[in-house]
Structure 1
Amino acid sequence: MRLVMATADFLVAGRSFAGFPLLLDDDGWPMEPAHSFLWHTLITHGGVESTLTWEAYGRRLYDYFAFLAANELQWDEAQKPHGLSVVTRYRDWSLGELALSPNTVNKRLNLIVRFYDWCKRQGYITQLPFGVRDVRTPAHHGFLAHVDRSGGVVQKPTIMARERKATIKLLTKTQVRQCFGTQLDPSHALLFNMMVRTGMRSCEARSFPLAYVFNPRARSDLRTGQMLRILLEPADMHIKYGKPRSIDVPWSLMEDMWTYSLHQREIRRRRSGIIPTALVLTELGHEFSKSAVVDAMKAIEKKVGFPVRAHMLRHTYGTYTLSALRKSPEFHGEPLLYVRDRMGHSDVQTTAIYLHLINQLDAQIVLAHEDELDMLFATTEHGEMAGRIQ
Structure 2
Amino acid sequence: MTDEITWRVFHTRHHLPRPQTPDPLIDTLWDLDEWLDANDVLDGQPFLINPLGRYDSELNEYFATVLNASPPDTQKAVASDLKLWLSFLWASRGQRDWRDARPEDRAAYKQWRTVDPRGPHVDLVTWDREVATVNQFYKWAVRRTYATQNPILQRDSRSRDPLRRNSGGTTPAEASHIGPRRDIVWLTPGMYRSWRDVGLRGYTPLGLPDPSFRGRFGTRNATYSNMMIRTGLRLCEQTSFSLFELPALVPGRLNTRTWLPWRIAKYGSARYVYLPSSSLKELWDYVEEDRAEAVETARESGTYERMRNPLIIADRNKPFVEIDGQRVTVDQLDHSERRRLLIDTRDGLEPAALWLNEDGMPSGRSCWQEVFKAANRRCANHRLDLRCHPHACRHSFAVITLEQLWRGHIQDMGAINPDQRMTHQMIFGDPLNWVRIRLGHRSITTTLDYLHALQELEMETRMALIPDDWKPADVDPDDLNDPTAPDLERAFA
What's the TM-score bracket when you normalise by the shorter of the two chains?
0.7 to 0.9
Correspondence for 2:442: 346
The one-letter code sitting in structure 2 at the alignment partner of 1:115 is: F
Q: 1:66 to 1:170 in 2, by over 3 A?
A: same
How far apart are 1:83 and its partner, in Å? 6.2
Inter-CA distance 116–165: structure 2 relative to 1 (3 Å threshold):
same
Higher relative contact order (CA 8 A, sep 6+): 1
Give the match's secondary structure for 2:66.
helix
1:60 aligns with 2:81: yes
Task: Give the distance between the partners of 2:122 and 2:359, measured in 1 at CA.
Answer: 32
Closer, same or farther in 2 for the Cα pair 1:54/1:228, shift >3 Å?
Answer: same
Change (3 A) 1:94 1:20: farther
Show CA shifts across 1:2-54 (max 9, x none): 433334642346x45444322245787632431123334335xxxx4534433
- Structure-1 residue corresponding to 2:251: 223
Q: What's the offset of the Cα at 1:141?
A: 5.6
CA distance in structure 1 between the partners assigned to 2:437 and 2:146 by the alignment: 43
Q: So what's the TM-score if we normalise by structure 2?
A: 0.60
Structure 2 CA distance for aligned equivalents of residues 6 and 125 of structure 1: 26
User: Once structures 1 and 2 are overlaid, which stretch shifts more, 279-288 or 132-141?
Assistant: 132-141
- CA–CA distance in structure 1, aligned partners of residues 161 and 436 of structure 2: 23
Contact 1:188 1:296 in 2 (8 A): yes
Deviation of the 1:136 alpha carbon: 7.4
Q: Secondary structure at the match of 2:48?
A: strand
The 1:125/1:296 distance shift into structure 2, 3 A limit, reads same
Which amino acid letter does the alignment assign opposite residue 442 of structure 2?
A: S
What secondary structure, in the 3-state scheme, does the structure 2 residue paired with 1:263 have?
helix
CA radius of gyration, larger in: 2
What residue is the counterpart of 1:374 in the other structure? none
Counterpart of 1:102?
Answer: 124
Partner of 2:454: 358
Quick check: 2:195–2:388 contact (8 Å CA) kept in 1? no
Query: Residue 432 of structure 2: which of 336, 352, 355 is its match?
Result: 336
1:82 maps to 2:104: yes
Identity level (%): 23
- How far 1:341 moved relative to its partner? 1.5
- State the Cα deviation string for residues 102-131 of structure 1 (Å, max 9, x = none): 32333223222233344445444445445x
Moved more, 279-288 or 299-308: 279-288
1:242 Cα shift? 2.6
* Structure 1 length-normalised TM: 0.74
| Aligned with 1:265 (options 287, 291, 302) | 291
Question: C-alpha displacement at 1:59, in angstroms?
Answer: 3.3
Flag the 1:161–1:5 CA change in 2: closer, same or farther, 3 A: farther
Query: Does structure 2 conserve the Cα–Cα contact (< 8 Å) formed by 1:94 and 1:105?
Result: no
Alignment match of 1:281 (pick from 356, 359, 365): 356
Aligned to 2:23: none
Give, in whole Å, the separation in 2 of the partners of 1:206 and 1:94. 40
Deviations along 1:280-322, one digit per CA (max 9) or x if unpaired, are 2334444333332222112222333211111111111111111
Q: Report Cα offsets for 1:190-239 as digits up to 9, x if no partner.
A: 221011111111112222213333551xxxxx33242010101144xx32
Q: Does 2:58 match 1:33?
A: yes
Q: CA deviation at 1:240?
A: 0.8
**8 Å CA contact retained: 1:193, 1:253:** yes
Task: Quote the offset at 1:178 in angstroms.
Answer: 1.4
Question: CA, structure 1 residues 126+102, in 2 after alignment: closer, same or farther (shift >3 Å)?
Answer: same
Any gaps of 5 or more consecutive residues in structure 2? 1-6, 15-32, 203-217, 305-349, 413-423, 465-493
Instruction: Specify the code of the residue in structure 2 equivalent to 1:300.
Output: A
- Unaligned stretches of 5+ in structure 1? 217-221, 369-390
What amino acid does structure 1 have at the position aligned with 2:183? T
In structure 1, which of residues 3, 7, 23 is the aligned counterpart of residue 9 of structure 2? 3
State which of 396, 403, 406 in structure 2 corresponds to 1:323: 403
Give the drift of 1:160.
5.5
Counterparts in 2 of 1:296 and 1:40: CA distance versus 1, 3 Å:
same
The residue aligned with 2:277 is 251
Return the alpha-carbon distance in structure 1 between the equivalents of residues 141 and 83 of structure 2.
16
